[in-house]
Structure 1
Amino acid sequence: MAARRVLKAVLVDLSGTLHIEDAAVPGAQEALKRLRAASVMVRFVTNTTKESKRDLLERLRKLEFDISEEEIFTSLTAARNLIEQRQVRPMLLVDDRALPDFTGVQTHDPNAVVIGLAPEHFHYQLLNEAFRRKQQEKNSNS
């Protein structure tokens, strides 16, 4: 008889799994409670770049999900981690609601660009500026 593997952790996507916009997916709160009762480590992931982790957490709590900020990993979290690891100063082309996730990040004289879902920032002038900065950085490293 084969040994049964013990489930140690579960990664749960947020959008479309626990909620759709400002509505909980039916049965999602109960499913989360059952996972927690099973003593499984639960972490929540999302690729959204439209809002800060704090705003996302507030929305989930309003929908009666028992989730802590430390349990959520977003694409903005990944971007911030990379910025800190590489010690770069990004030009942030992200939605204004996402900016709190970059509090304390140095953005003067940018040498990198972070792009998120932010249609208001996708226009010729800003994208041209980002491209020119990249070219300047490339030329200074030659």
Structure 2
Amino acid sequence: EDIPLLLHHFVKEANSKLNKRIEGASEHAVKKLIDYNWPGNVRELENTITNMCINTPGTVIRSSSIPDYGLEDEGPGGSVDCLDRFISNYLEENETDEGLLFPAVELVERKMIEQLSEKYDGNKTRISSALGISRVTLAKKMNHMGL
């Protein structure tokens, strides 16, 4: 397959353009790119890899940075499928097998608070009500998270 060679080339280009230091991609990420039937041209692959580099916080592209082309998170089971992918990617990205639950729960809490904060224009009463927690608990969580 040409995908691993093109991946290496486009990551190198993206590193230069974006001033990043991405070393490559995880085995799972490479497999996901290979498994996708690229109907477009090489430019589509290049754009995808550049976007993956932008969305990669560390030095290794993980499968979570790759868009799920053709997979919609709508319809019955869509949210569960999305959560399934999140958990799989989270476990892949964390090299330890100890203490995984609390950071994952905190990540989900943070994202929910951020999105609800945007939805309700920062109205803590509505955010806490949507979460089913008190305003005091919400304030403590936001303070702990630096929000």
| TM interval, short-chain normalised | under 0.3
Query: Which structure is higher in helix share?
Result: 2
Query: Which structure is higher in strand share?
Result: 1
RCO (CA 8 Å, sep 6+): is it higher in 1 or 2? 1
Normalising by structure 2, we get a TM-score of: 0.25
